[in-house]
Amino acid sequence: MIRSMTGFGEASSQVNGVHFFVELRSLNNKYFKAVIRLPETLQVLEAELESLLRRRISRGTVTLTASCTDSSESAALDVNHRALDRYVEQLRRVKAVAAGELQIDVGSLLGLPGVLQPPADEEDRLLRARGEFSRLTDLACDHAISMRRREGAMLEEELRRHAGEIGERLGRIAARAPQVIQDYEARLRQRIDSMLEAAGVKVEPVELIRELATYAERTDIAEEVARLSAHIDQFGDLLGAPDDQPVGRTLDFLAQEMLREANTIASKSSDALISRLIVEIKGLIDRIKEQVQNVE
């Protein structure tokens, strides 16, 4: 079963007052591309999460947004008292401060470099976030892949229907091809008979056979019909491939080959019915080409 490249998944958890949330969105792309958005303090996890995504999803643009909200008391930053004392000591040497003309704003002091520092357990917090984000990313991937499978099932149904319609029209073309030669022979004999009757000239049967053979060779589409039929069979086999096997690019290439054979048939045949059927086949192939762009 094929999978679509469009999917969405999310997962969240609450651990010791810390709320973790992961959202995953995927869109079609020729290759795999990951866009990961993490809180600034957790940017070091980006490479690990991208590697996890690559193991689960082989193709498409995947946007992962993760957030971490700590409502516990451990979220408070530590105040570096020695650094703060040093800033205050230097400010007191300023004449305006010493004379009481300028007040020291504690809030502004807290924004100075080195005054507020991460909690001492920052490494433990990072380890907890790493484990939780990895788990939630796996869950979000499960949900997104499930959605991609559902959309893939609908895509497969449409693609099989288009391939079936192409096969039906191709069968009519194959059945019509011999009649085209017979119709040409009848028209050719009628024209020759008219000319002979008017001019009183006799044409050898071998010359008529040679002309028919040349026309038959020039308009022979048996090889193209056989190749296009084989492409349709292979297309159906690929649609039934295991869903962990990405086949989107192969389907796209196969659709191009199908269109190439259809164009060759169109250029070889001057029959009105075959031309009309080929136009319909090319329209169906164009729909296939458009839809397989979203197959993983």
Is residue 2 in some structural domain? Answer: no
Separation CA 102–CA 97 (nearest Å): 5
Residue 115 within a domain: no
Q: Cβ distance 135 to 17 under 8 Å?
A: no
pLDDT at 122: 64
What token pair was written down for 275? Answer: 């031309």
**Could you list the pLDDT tens digit for every one of the 296 residues in the chain?**
899 999 999 999 988 778 899 999 999 998 999 999 998 888 899 999 999 999 999 999 999 999 988 765 665 666 767 777 777 777 676 665 566 666 666 667 676 777 676 665 567 778 888 999 999 999 999 999 999 999 999 999 999 999 999 999 999 998 888 777 666 666 666 665 565 555 555 555 665 566 555 655 566 788 888 999 999 999 999 998 876 788 999 999 999 999 999 999 888 887 888 889 999 999 999 999 999 999 99
- Residue 70's Cβ-count burial label (10 Å; 0-12, 13-18, 19+) is middle
Structure token digits, residue 149: 């499978």
Q: What is the dihedral sign for C-alpha 163, 168, 172, 174?
A: positive
Q: Indicate whether 236 belongs to any domain.
A: yes
pLDDT reported for residue 65:
96
Whole-number pLDDT of residue 283: 96
Q: What is the CATH number of the domain that holds 255?
A: 1.20.140
Q: Are residues 134 and 259 in the same domain?
A: no
* Nearest Cα residue to 15 out of 66, 71, 64, 60: 71
- Give yes or no: residues 29 and 132 share one domain: yes
Note whether residue 118 is domain-resident: no
Q: What is the pLDDT of residue 102?
A: 62
Gap between the Cα atoms of 154 and 2, Å rounded:
10
Q: 117 lies in a domain? A: no
Residue 62: CATH number of its domain: 3.30.230
Is residue 155 a contact partner of residue 287, using CB atoms and an 8 Å limit?
A: no
Looking at the structure, tell me whether residues 200 and 267 fall in a common domain: yes
**How confident is the model at residue 168, as a pLDDT?**
96
Looking at the structure, tell me whether residues 260 and 131 fall in a common domain: no
Do 40 and 18 lie in one domain? The reply is yes
First to last CA, the chain: 11
Q: Which of 132, 150, 168 is the last residue before a domain boundary?
A: 150
Tally of domains in the chain: 3
Do residues 251 and 128 share a domain? no
Same domain, 173 and 241: yes
In eight-state DSSP terms, residue 171 is: H
* 265 lies in some domain: yes
- Is residue 248 domain-resident? yes
Domain presence at residue 116: no
From CA 39, how far away is CA 172, in angstroms rounded? 62
Which structural domain, as residue segments, surrounds residue 133? 7-75+123-150
Assess whether 159 and 246 both reside in one domain. yes
Residues 177 and 244 in one domain: yes
